[in-house]
Structure 1
Amino acid sequence: MDELSLDALLALEHGGWDALCRSAGGDFYGELMTAEAVMILVNGMILDRATIAATLNESPPWSSYTLSETRLVPTGQDATALVYRASARRDGQDEPFIALMASHYRLVDGRARLTLYQQTTITH
């Protein structure tokens, strides 16, 4: 399977969301992100790999999520971005979190690795 295909990257994204539902996102993304990668969150925070790995397991878990409107945006040789819409809920939350996501991946030693992730909320 092409490591940068839509199916392969969606599998990685689902793996990440599943990890977030189990409060294991720090472990998952600490492994998936490149050393220089960052996540840009809707609240304006920019978190590097070390911060993600050290803190994300402590975030409240998501109870459910859906990913839709997926598409790939090629960005160069051995790199692409996966763009999608996510809707997620946490227990006790009245409204879902709905955002557009962009996850940029690059092949490193034949394996897709996350280099940049950005959220753009559509609920605020």
Structure 2
Amino acid sequence: MLNLATLLASERQLATGDGDTYRRAMRRDALFVLPGMVLDAEECARAMDVSPGWDGVALTDAQLLQVGEDAASVVYTFEGRRGTEVYRATMASTYVEEDGRAVLVLHQQTPLG
């Protein structure tokens, strides 16, 4: 069954990874709900291919919601730092368990002031 530690580990890998990290972690029909847009899986992976990445990330206040026997959502506060830039958001990701591993199917983020 999906648990909080597993899903947070996946989220940390995604937060610091490139497009290929996303391609390995998500289902082909995954969606990403971002401020002002919705990206499909490949659009998100391509965006991550050109992203400069974060110098450091923190995931706090995490909560797990079991959606079913093989599905769960993780909700947390994200803080990413790149030089002097700081980005904070509430994030939610839903995973399903396929072949014994967590696979991302939906991600949403809401920036915090």
Aligned-residue sequence identity (percent) comes to 38
Q: Deviations over 1:63-94 (max 9, x none)?
A: 1111100010111221000000011111242x
For 1:1-124, list aligned pairs within 5 A.
Answer: 2=1, 4-19=2-17, 24=18, 26-42=19-35, 44-93=36-85, 96-123=86-113
Provide the rounded CA distance (Å) in 2 between the counterparts of 1:55 and 1:8: 25
| TM, length-normalised to structure 1 | 0.84
State the alpha-carbon separation in 2 of the partners of residues 53 and 31 from structure 1: 10
SS in 2 for 1:61: coil
Q: Contact 1:79/1:104 (CA < 8 Å) preserved in 2?
A: yes
- Work out the number of aligned pairs and report it: 113
Give the secondary-structure state (helix, strand or coil) at the position aligned to 1:118: strand
CA RMSD of aligned residues (A): 1.3
Instruction: Give CA-to-partner distance per residue, 1:87-123, whole Å, 9 cap, x none.
Output: 1111242xx2111000100011221100000001112
SS at match of 1:59: coil
The alignment partner of 1:29 has SS state of helix
TM-score (norm 2): 0.91
How far, CA to CA, are the matches of 1:55 and 1:14 in structure 2?
17
Q: Extract unaligned runs of 5+ from structure 2.
A: none
In the alignment, the residues of structure 1 paired with residue 16 and residue 47 of structure 2 have an alpha-carbon distance, to the nearest angstrom, of 17
Which of the pair is proportionally richer in strand? 2
